[in-house]
Structure 1
Amino acid sequence: MDRSETQAGTALEKRRRAPVRLLRKVAVAFAGSALIVAGVAMLVLPGPGVVAILAGLGLLGTEFPTARRISHGANGYIRAAWQAVRRRLGRAD
């Protein structure tokens, strides 16, 4: 098989998968945003608001690098805050 045939096949395959990728990106954006909105609502309503927000950020992070960076930063901040609470209560890991 010639190199140009391989590249043509790859380009054709990418064009064929483009609608599926776009649909996945839209679905992830919608579901992640819905989780974040629900999490914000749960901050004042009964429910695990922070967990839902982090889940939404994690889901968005599968498709969007900026959301991944925010998720990692927020996760680190929350872990540090949780450790401070545990130390204050006298419970070490």
Structure 2
Amino acid sequence: MITSQSNTTQWRKRQAALGFVRVEVQVRKEDASLVREIANALGDPARHDATRAILRQKITRSPSKSFKALLASAPLEGIELDRPSDFGREIDL
């Protein structure tokens, strides 16, 4: 006789083989059904791509630029970037 625990273990192994992982989250009671619907849509092959695209567009942050990229895209016209050479003051010995 197969126990309930071994059925669950086998089901989880099959899901892992398909690329699924178990995730536990805590949300407000009124958001629980929404989170379940999102999870179902991501798990459904017919809705997966569209759901993922919408979530990435609306929820995730755009990748931040590096400091070098920010400097390269900055409007630097009219700004003097050369510094005068200053060798300091003379010291009498």
By percentage of residues, which structure has more helix?
A: 1
Query: Does TM-score exceed 0.5, indicating one fold?
Result: no
**TM-score where L is the length of structure 2:** 0.24
> Structure 1 length normalisation: TM-score?
0.24
Higher relative contact order (CA 8 A, sep 6+): 1
